Amino acid sequence: MSEGTREMRRLRVGSAGGGGGSKANASGGIGIGIADEWSSGGRGIGARIRGVNVGILDEQVLALVFRALNWDPQALCSVARVSRRLRAVAERVLWRELCVSRAPRMVSTLTTGSSAASGRVGGGWPALAKLLLFCCGAAGAGVRGHFAPVSRFSKTSGRSFLSRRCGGDLLYVSDPCEHAAAGAAADEDVGAYRGVFRGFMRSRTRACLVGGRAPLEPRVRCPYCGARVWSVTAAGLAPRSACRRLGAHEGRLEYFVCVSGHLHGSCWLARLSSSDGDGDGGRGGEDTDSDDDGFTATADSDDGHMEL
């Protein structure tokens, strides 16, 4: 018998076992009033026993706390590991608010439109938050994933990653995160990038992968949601424009997309001189898309890991 049930019985027995007449009626009225308040789930000990979120578990209180912390992702990760209740609140509310605070136009675009599930994102809000703030690295080149303090995601870049058959899809892709890799040539860096589709389940890219019977990779998983992935390169859907966009060597680019619509990949970049970077605005040239999102993600420490 639960604690709540025992307390309800104690109140009812107390109300029925009092003195006769008006005193019994008054006692019974008090007991019924307490029971009604309990059943309503409004306030007090009844709400706590029934498991309603109160105090620090209240979603609005937690939202105010993290807004004051500028939605610090490291703090949010720590809080989500305290208990299952806090983790549930984080997954339902807090990660979504973090995404909105960091990339409002991008989130608005991903959650609206005919191909998007209203107010939802593929893989869930924790996965999108990790994608915004975490560079997955490049396993093939021995580059580990790490917290990415500054990121920019672009629909213009995303169009360069879509084949002509899939040109109607909407894809955000980040600028490449550049790393010096062991064993690389003196004039080469490894670039790691990530992205996300809007409404991937209804996208032309997914239809081409499924219709072409592209196999799911047996040894690769999405670093953001853990789902299985297709190799877009192996499926022949990676256009040459992706290499040009990134400033990568031809044929030395690979990327994957998971069943939830998260993209990640790596490439070998030719190092730019300072004059090259100043002349064209860096890799990929100039973007004019007003819906692109760039942001700085702050954290107290950068230990190379982000566990959501």
Q: State the Cα–Cα distance between residues 165 and 248, nearest whole angstrom.
A: 23
Confidence of residue 228 (pLDDT cuts 50, 70, 90): very high
In a domain, 133, yes or no: yes
Closest CA to 264 of 189, 199, 173, 171: 173
- Going 277 to 280 to 282 to 283, the CA torsion angle's sign is negative
In a domain, 306, yes or no: no
Confidence of residue 259 (pLDDT cuts 50, 70, 90): very high
Q: Are residues 198 and 237 in the same domain?
A: yes
Q: Bigger pLDDT: 127 or 245?
A: 127
Is the full-model pTM beyond 0.75?
A: no
Q: Are residues 42 and 124 in the same domain?
A: no
Confidence of residue 148 (pLDDT cuts 50, 70, 90): confident
Burial class, 286, CB count within 10 angstroms (exposed 0-12 / middle 13-18 / buried 19+): exposed
In a domain, 77, yes or no: yes
Tokens found for residue 59: 């979603």
Please tell me the predicted confidence (pLDDT) of residue 215. Answer: 95
Q: Are residues 117 and 222 in the same domain?
A: yes
pLDDT at 53 over 90: no
Count of the separate structural domains present in the chain: 3
Average pLDDT over the chain reads 75
Confidence of residue 1 (pLDDT cuts 50, 70, 90): low
Mean pLDDT lowest among 41-50, 52-61, 223-232:
41-50
In a domain, 304, yes or no: no
Task: Evaluate whether 261 touches 200 at the Cβ level (below 8 Å).
Answer: yes
Please tell me the predicted confidence (pLDDT) of residue 122. Answer: 86
Tokens found for residue 180: 């010096």
pLDDT in tens, 149-173: 788 999 999 999 999 999 899 999 9
In a domain, 147, yes or no: yes
pLDDT at 131 over 90: yes
Q: State the Cα–Cα distance between residues 163 and 211, nearest whole angstrom.
A: 15
Q: Are residues 85 and 36 in the same domain?
A: no
Q: State the Cα–Cα distance between residues 302 and 158, nearest whole angstrom.
A: 28
In a domain, 31, yes or no: yes
Q: Are residues 178 and 276 in the same domain?
A: yes
In a domain, 173, yes or no: yes
In a domain, 92, yes or no: yes
Domain endpoint, select from 85, 102, 119: 102
β-strand 216-221 against 228-231: which pairing, if any? antiparallel
Please tell me the predicted confidence (pLDDT) of residue 125. Answer: 93
Domain that holds residue 117: 104-296
